[in-house]
Amino acid sequence: MFCSKKKSLEVERIVKANDREYNEKFLYKDNRIHTSKYNILTFLPINLFEQFQRVANAYFLFLLILQLIPEISSLTWFTTIVPLVLVVTMTAVKDATDDYFRHKSDNQVNNRQSEVLIDSKLQNEKWMNVKVGDIIKLENNQFVAADLLLLSSSEPHGLCYIETAELDGETNLKVRHALSVTSELGADISRLAKFDGIVVCEAPNNKLDKFTGVLSWKGSKHSLNNEKIILRGCVLRNTSWCFGMVIFAGPDTKLMQNSGKTKFKRTSIDRLMNTLVLWIFGFLICLGTILAIGNSIWENQVGDQLRTFLFWNEGEKNSVFSGFLTFWSYIIILNTVVPISLYVSVEVIRLGHSYFINWDRKMYYSRKATPAEARTTTLNEELGQIEYVFSDKTGTLTQNIMTFKKCSINGRIYGEVRDDLGQKTDMTKKKETVGFSVSPQADRTFQFFDHHLMESIELGDPKVHEFLRLLALCHTVMSEENSAGQLIYQVQSPDEGALVTAAKNLGFIFKSRTPETITIEELGTLVTYQLLAFLDFNNFRKRMSVIVRNPEGQIKLYSKGADTILFERLHPSNEDLLTLTSDHLSEFAGEGLRTLAIAYRDLDDKYFREWHKMLEDANTTPDERDERIAGLYEEIERDLMLLGATAVEDKLQDGVIETVMSLSLANIKIWVLTGDKQETAINIGYACNMLTDDMNDVFIIAGNTAAEVREELRKAKENLFGQNRSFSNGHVVFEKKQSLELDSVVEETVTGDYALIINGHSLTVYDQWFITLFNIVYTSLPVLAMGIFDQDVSDQNSMDYPQLYRPGQLNLLFNKHEFFICMAHGIYTSLALFFIPYGAFYNMVGEDGRHTADYQSFAVTMATSLVIVVSVQIALDTSYWTVINHVFIWGSIATYFSILFTMHSNGIFGIFPNQFPFVGNARHSLTQKCIWLVILLTTVASVMPVVAFRFLKVHLFPTLSDQIRQWQKAQNKARPLRSRKPQTRRSSSRRSGYAFAHQEGYGELITSGKNMRAKNPPPPSGLEKTLYNSTSWLENLCKKTTDTVSSFSQDKTVKL
């Protein structure tokens, strides 16, 4: 009631600092989080309610109720309740285990310690006890406990750095800064304890990039935005300490608001299984209806004549009512056609596969000691059905480590290496690198091979100097010196870091900045520029500019940005240079380099003063502020003079080319999301082998509306019409998962189709205990062992032949067609299991001369045949044998005989005479040679058609996996030594270009001076590089493919 009242009233939040009593009247939530679903009291009712929402569980519960009605109960209640309880219990244990870990995680987070200002002193307090309005102290590398209003920090102007990887996945540091009125509080505990500001802000929401509010303190109001807020889940970095006031706590924090409720995801197999179960329900109802109608006819024509013998009174049971009761009786008898155990088997196998993923050493990232982690156990098989992969480019395909490689200055390219004849050559380690004697702060890891650039610098080329001066001035980089006196740059973007570092190595060293000045060292001379304006970058402008006044009093605008944007703002006199620079940019982009255009403008002092006055007026105007500022930026960023362009390399991640090749061969379509221009997008495709020279056509879809895109796609399809692409057949690990479902369905079908019609009443062939134990004891473990451990081909061959992945995408291994084949197989097996023993028992006499055709001997013979047939079938389906497979398969048969002889023993009869009346039947039946001959004949008749079909299929219509299995067997026997011939892979020259980050810049923050860092030693950092031998992998792939094709060419052409 309180929650609903609070939600309806909280259109805004009012928080008073250091006043818990004031804030408690608003009933704000504390900082305790709950991600768990249950507790001790609610687990049983809620979990049972969730489980019985499943159709199969609800059906068996309904079946159990029917079995409690004596008139229609053809089986005792324990035949249903035992498997149902087992299924529900196993699922409940799994759910309880998952929730236990959620509780454990919640407790770990809730019990973290934080320093809270209480009663004018800092006290250690658990996170869960933090309240709205409390003031918290954070220290470097500490997680933020709640959504805080930043009050002060160890840095000048209340600046702090945070890492938001837990929120948005970005590892670049973000800057937050406090209001000037609160940053003065510093670390003075007495002043912080007296702080009684009131914050009126937005209600809790999930918008990570937006916050609006007002702080009222000492009679003044101060507006608040997202730059003043530190969100829960962030980590404080490069800041010794900071103080913050809790605005949102616990479930109200933006992190938790984005969590929401976990959506239940169903896989394609789940959906298909549910459909098949509904079909089985329909089949069961139809079968029950037909048998009920037959019972009514029999009762009407024959049953009436037996009333005297059965001691029925007249009118006690008519034919229609008898058919009605018989319908429910058959529903009970044939309940095993509904595969309830299949759900449990699938869940257990998914759990096992999840552990395999977690334990896989080949998916262990040693550089960060990070193993693979399966965060869900419900979607594993979807890994074998992926058709599309969507990938970002920067930081995913590439390393996001930028290196300055080339530049174009005044129409001349610097960075190319040429031989003695002036021909362009590749850069190699043998080529002598440039010595940066002009810069004492040069980075020794920076390599540049073109000596002409240094020559131009030393000769005093004004365009080259202006170019490098722009790189040293136009950026948002922060500098500091470490204990050794070395300059350390803190960058928001690795692109800017690469450009500023290049300028530093070439003699134009960015030294420091204040809110009003930028100091650089130009070839050994310190020069301070007055920073007049900062025109920040955003994803609409795609450029940034600074306006500075040099020591000579000249005002200059320096700008860098996307070439398509800057070229539109150039002075007409740049036409020739523009053409030449555009060619250079195309060349850079073709080599996979990220490009930026560089330009400047000389400004008249009077014009600038007028423009700056309009900018100040626009900043103070509440209406259409952003639009007016953008218009002023456009006005001054025109008539630019082109200087040139930069080219920065962002190297591909290790193994990207090989990975993309494997995915492509597996028929997985790859989409790379990038902000690059069209040429660059095509070139990155060639760099990653997503596009190859073998592709005849590359279609560019450039529509801006859905209709335009649809029309362009239609035209592309028309151009491609008639082209055929052949793919090989194959399997993946997913194959055995799908085969498992089919095998389980077969078993359920086999055990569910046996009933005798005796005088119009039903009687099961199998013993009731056998029906109860069949799925949960006799056949469950072999199915699980095959589903968890089986491999159709080795893991190495799975990697060498990516075409094996295709059947999973097309659902060739588990679909409705395969289901009906399995149904037919089950029906045939059930007929063989029944009629072969029935015919043999018809006039059979035992070795002792006695008649053996009694009901229980017939049941024992059929049950034994069934267990053996199912075990042999599982053995035939198993491709990869382990000790566990042997123990489970043959152990299940041994378990069956142990239980069988126990149930027919004198001892169990003495304890439960009513439940186990057939004393000695199993021993008597199974000592007869003729019984074992019947069992052998039944087993052979049931299994041989399957063996013959598979033999013919493998030899006449083999799939790729069949061929690879044969090759594996031949290799295991022979293991010949094969020579490895090195192969040269042709690499395309077309590669990626530059892409802008879609994030607002920090120009406003720089000009405010609030991001001026104190001189603290930088945190240790480093990136270890490892080498990846990709050539051997490609050689292996090509070699294996060649060997496979040649070895199978005599029988069947393999299409790769």
CA distance 549 to 1031: 54
Q: What are 600's strand-pairing partners?
A: 558, 641
* Cβ contact 849:753 at 8 Å: no
For tokens 């702060």, what's the residue? 441
For tokens 């050559």, what's the residue? 425
CA distance 450 to 430: 13
Q: Which residues contact 709 (CB under 8 A, 6 or more apart)?
A: 701, 703
What separation in angstroms does the CA of 786 have from each of 385, 735, 829, 964?
20, 11, 21, 20
Strand bridging mode 525-535 / 517-522: antiparallel
C-beta neighbour count of 917 within 10 angstroms: 11
Structure token digits, residue 1056: 């790769």
Q: Which of 493, 469, 489, 492 is nearest to 478 (CA)?
A: 489
Q: What are 160's strand-pairing partners?
A: 176
Structure token digits, residue 178: 């406090």
* Cβ contact 991:684 at 8 Å: yes
Structure token digits, residue 32: 């305790």
Residue 11, judged by CB atoms within 10 A of its CB (0-12, 13-18, 19+), counts as: exposed
Q: Which of 1042, 1030, 1047 is nearest to 662 (CA)?
A: 1030
Q: What are 595's strand-pairing partners?
A: 647
Q: Which residues contact 814 (CB under 8 A, 6 or more apart)?
A: 269, 272, 738, 739, 741, 742
The dihedral through the CA atoms of 388, 391, 393, 399 has a sign that is negative
CA distance 948 to 832: 16
Report the length, in residues, of the chain: 1056
The dihedral through the CA atoms of 1041, 1042, 1048, 1053 has a sign that is positive
Pick the catalytic residue: 392, 604, 617, 795? 392
C-beta neighbour count of 563 within 10 angstroms: 25
What separation in angstroms does the CA of 1 have from each of 4, 5, 8, 992?
5, 6, 11, 58
* Chain CA centroid to CA 111, Å: 29
Q: What are 481's strand-pairing partners?
A: 487
For tokens 């090509």, what's the residue? 1038
Quote helix, strand, coil % in the chain, to nearest 5: 50, 15, 35
Structure token digits, residue 945: 């058609």
Rg (CA), the chain: 39
CA distance 519 to 512: 5
* Cβ contact 546:531 at 8 Å: yes
Q: Strands, E, within 378-481: which ranges?
A: 388-392, 398-409, 412-414, 417-418, 424-425, 478-481
The dihedral through the CA atoms of 917, 919, 923, 929 has a sign that is negative
* Chain CA centroid to CA 357, Å: 13
Q: What are 741's strand-pairing partners?
A: none
Q: What are phi and psi for residue 652, nearest 5 degrees?
A: -70, 150
Q: Which of 234, 217, 35 is nearest to 142 (CA)?
A: 234
- The question of whether 392 is a catalytic residue gets the answer yes
Q: Which of 841, 836, 867 is nearest to 854 (CA)?
A: 841
Which are the catalytic amino acids?
392
